[in-house]
Amino acid sequence: WFPYAIKKVGSRIKGEVFSIEEKGLNDLDILEGYPSHYNRSLVETSYGFAWVYHAAENMTAKIKKYGFTEEWSAEHYE
């Protein structure tokens, strides 16, 4: 399994913000499996607007079936 954020209105997520070119975003889409594994949404941050990858709808059902944790880190899966 991979860490997935599940989109939920009013929720918050911790992460990092990077500035990339359009080509870089296209490359990330391929790496992240967009749109089959992940979708992305434009959200407002303290740095301005940023794209956030979150679980695609087909993955959300699977994640809820097998359980999830509020905070993902390598120590949860070692």
Q: Is 70 exceeded by the pLDDT of residue 69?
A: no
* pLDDT for position 11: 83
* pLDDT for position 68: 66
Residue 18: C-alpha distances to residues 3, 6, 56, 69 (Å)? 18, 20, 22, 25
Global pTM reads 0.75
66 is written with which tokens? Answer: 């097998």
* Residue 11: closest CA among 52, 48, 49: 52
* pLDDT for position 42: 94
By three-state DSSP, how is residue 69 classified? coil
> Which ranges of 1-78 does DSSP label H, i.e. alpha helix?
22-32, 57-66
